[in-house]
Chain A
């Protein structure tokens, strides 16, 4: 049997993160940051590796 609190939507957490106000904004920041890093690595490969 599952305990009652395990059936809650795991993404639904009332406490916001201390940065950027909401969890979704923090996750978006991580995605943008990582995408920029990948793009930078790609540019480095294309321009500097020969």
Chain B
């Protein structure tokens, strides 16, 4: 990396930490620290909501996923605007008027302390596990691609974020998130320009779209009704709706964003902003993966994107690897020529020529993929175990090789911004749930503002350090974006079910809701273990079981009470 790139990255880190200290001076009590005194504007809160959801995993994993499997992942986000409307009409007003610090605090007022505590505990466990991925994704991958020290990368990212979050509190997190989100938007367009710049001189966007379509990469909508297929319109609309409803309505990392709104209207508008921007943003990020896929027809991608695996193959692959490399060079050239022929055939308007060119291009693509598969098999035999998915290495690998000096620093700052904006919001929300739902509820019920403020900072520091240490052991996963959502889906549905019981089933008791939550978790784990349905449906199962169990227990208790003398 050039010195200029390092300067850009260092300036970025210096700026966010300085901003944290600047906002930290305003904190006087936990209302300042966790809710920014409910004084923030809708655009800042809305951008923070988006920045919290869009982690580095979104950039690295989603672009890689589009590169390898196309645009079908966008279906998960399609029902998000509908979920935002439901939240604006129900969850947001309930929370805002209840004047709560955490979503789970509301459950004690509606049900009882044990339901609040269990729900908050599940949040702490699930979010506490997932937050390590937020650091792990960019740190491990960037260290593999750029040859940085893994531990140092994780620690520097974690420590910087912990510093500005611990000092600055939620106001700092939101204001920095907003700027990081704008940087991320800018990064999308910079990356697009980088990919398009790599096209041959006479190659147009229309040619690229046609090529991607010929390889089935423009598969945004899959109407299949197969329940085992992860990304279909049905699983997206159904599972994605409950996933979004639960994540934005019951996950403290998001609820804490819109609780800081200056008014109920401002809080609602922050979610409406997300409703308008989220799908286009995901489309653009997936589009990056597609453009990258097309670019790699004209610049030769490595057999494997992980530099660590490249070294392993070079050292232990022997003659088999050398032969594979030679065949790979020929296959790449054949596919490149087929792609150019396809462009000429499309422009000629001759249908027969186009059909023939498409067929030749598909065959060349299959040959090329076959060699990639053979390389994976070779790598597996050399390693003696399944290698980690290369999905996560493609985008940073491209940046390292082809981003110009200065631009590489900007793009790395974008990836850091994406990771740090999510990490800061999540450790701040873990701290608020720990302090408000447990420490202040059970241990020290009355103390002065300074005491709670320092405890809150201590809790933020604890969760930050915990997540950073966990990131060092995050382990090998497939697609990171999927891994994070998959972990969340074990818990999101049942928690959403409890909140729906609170809002919709007036006679439901605390004990009924508590038992229903446990039943919901058991059902989700059973379905995950015994069936092969897509993880997106776990959210639906969780909600359905909790609602059914809550309604049945409410009716049973009602009859029991009626029958008593």
Contacts and interface: CB of A to CB of B under 8 A. Distances in A.
A27 B85 contact: yes
Contacts of B88: 23, 27
A27 B220 CA distance: 25
B85 A45 contact: no
Contacts of A38: 78, 221
Nearest to A48: B213
A26 B210 CA distance: 37
Contacts of A13: 93, 264-265, 268
Given A6-B109, A45-B220, A30 B85 contact: yes
B217 A49 contact: yes
Interface of A: 1-3, 5-6, 8, 10-11, 13, 15, 17-18, 23, 26-27, 30-31, 33-34, 37-38, 41-42, 44-45, 48-50
A30 B90 contact: no
Interface in B59-82: 70, 74, 78, 81-82
Contacts of B218: 44-45, 48-49
Contacts of A11: 89-90, 93
Contact of A10 (B78, B94, B210, B219): B94
Contacts of B263: 15
A27 to B, nearest CB: 5
A41 B220 contact: yes
Chain A interface, >50% SS class: helix
Interface of B: 70, 74, 78, 81-82, 84-85, 88-90, 92-94, 97-99, 109-110, 209-210, 212-214, 216-222, 263-265, 268-269, 272, 275-276, 279-280, 283
Contact of A6 (B94, B214, B275): B94
A33 B81 contact: yes
A9 to B, nearest CB: 9
B436 to A, nearest CB: 17
Contacts of B269: 17-18
B508 to A, nearest CB: 13
A50 B221 contact: no
B130 to A, nearest CB: 27
Chain B interface, >50% SS class: helix
Contacts of A42: 220-221
Contacts of B93: 10-11, 13
Rank and list the top 7 A-B pairs by shortest CB-CB distance, nearest first: A10-B93, A49-B218, A48-B213, A41-B220, A34-B81, A45-B221, A42-B221
Given A1-B109, A23-B88, A48 B276 contact: no
A10 to B, nearest CB: 3
B82 A34 contact: yes
Given A15-B263, A23-B88, A41-B220, A31 B82 contact: yes
A30 B221 contact: no
B279 A37 contact: yes
Given A45-B221, A49-B216, A30 B97 contact: no
Contacts of B90: 10-11
24 contacts: A5-B97, A10-B89, A10-B90, A15-B265, A17-B269, A17-B272, A18-B269, A23-B89, A26-B272, A27-B88, A30-B81, A30-B84, A30-B276, A33-B276, A34-B78, A38-B78, A41-B221, A42-B220, A45-B221, A48-B209, A49-B216, A49-B219, A49-B220, A50-B216
Contacts of A2: 109-110
B275 to A, nearest CB: 5
Most buried by A among B82, B210, B212: B82
A5 B265 CA distance: 16
A45 B268 CA distance: 33
A38 to B, nearest CB: 6
B210 A6 contact: no
Contacts of A44: 218, 220
Nearest to B109: A2
A37 to B, nearest CB: 5
